[in-house]
């Protein structure tokens, strides 16, 4: 009888120290990407689809995956009216090339503009399973710089505005680009 009680006590102590595996729920908000939406320059309230837009971050060779269901090069090109871009969690500046009409056989129709985003970072604890996420705040004085890569064709991005400085969730528009 003593052996059974001792066995049950040992089993009780051993099982009480076990915890279920911690798995981060895919629906848990983690480090957000920046949502950029495109608008028609002639009608600023109307969203406008881009034509074969490819976005390449500094130091990248292929570009940002904009169409996850695409195959090969198609996953780096979009024809939508918005893009989600990651910001660096280890730096306060990120640079992107926005290439409109990417892959067009006529090189005169391909237009590349550069955007550099400046921000501060704040780490926020999510949970033991998910760890930390980074929240970004665009620089209030100079959130981005827009330049053209070529001198002959001019910028395809006419202007851009900051809709919101705090990047906490992916479903909130941060930058509005008009072209």
Averaged pLDDT for residues 29-43: 96
Confidence tier at 131 by pLDDT (50, 70, 90):
very high
Q: In sequence order, what are the beta bridge partners of 100? A: 111
The model's pLDDT over 81-119, given as tens digits with 9 standing for 90+, comes to 999 999 999 999 999 999 999 999 998 899 999 999 999
In terms of residues, how long is the chain?
A: 179
The pTM is what? 0.83
Distances (CA, A) of 17 to 3, 10, 14, 22, 23: 22, 11, 6, 14, 18
What's the confidence (pLDDT) of residue 85?
A: 98
Angle at 85 between CA 171 and CA 39, to 5 degrees: 70
- Per domain, the residue ranges of the chain are 35-178
What's the confidence (pLDDT) of residue 151?
A: 54
Phi, psi of 101 (to 5 degrees): 65, 35
What's the confidence (pLDDT) of residue 26?
A: 86
Q: Residue 18 above 50 pLDDT?
A: no
């Amino acid at each position: 009888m003593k052996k059974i009680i001792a066995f049950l006590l040992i089993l009780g102590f051993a099982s009480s120290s076990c915890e279920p595996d911690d798995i981060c729920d895919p629906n848990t908000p983690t480090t957000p990407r920046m949502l950029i939406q495109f608008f028609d320059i002639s009608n600023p309230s109307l969203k406008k689809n881009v034509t074969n837009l490819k976005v390449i971050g500094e130091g990248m060779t292929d570009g940002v995956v904009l169409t996850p269901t695409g195959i090969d090069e198609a996953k780096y090109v979009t024809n939508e009216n918005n893009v989600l871009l990651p910001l660096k969690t280890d730096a306060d500046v990120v640079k992107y090339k926005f290439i409109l009409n990417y892959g067009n056989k006529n090189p005169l129709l391909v237009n590349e503009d550069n955007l550099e985003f400046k921000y501060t970072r704040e780490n926020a604890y999510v949970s033991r399973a998910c760890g930390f996420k980074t929240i970004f705040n665009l620089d209030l004085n100079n959130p981005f710089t827009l330049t053209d890569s070529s001198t002959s064709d001019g910028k395809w991005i006419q202007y851009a505005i900051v809709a919101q400085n705090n990047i906490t969730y992916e479903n909130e528009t941060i930058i509005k680009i008009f072209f």
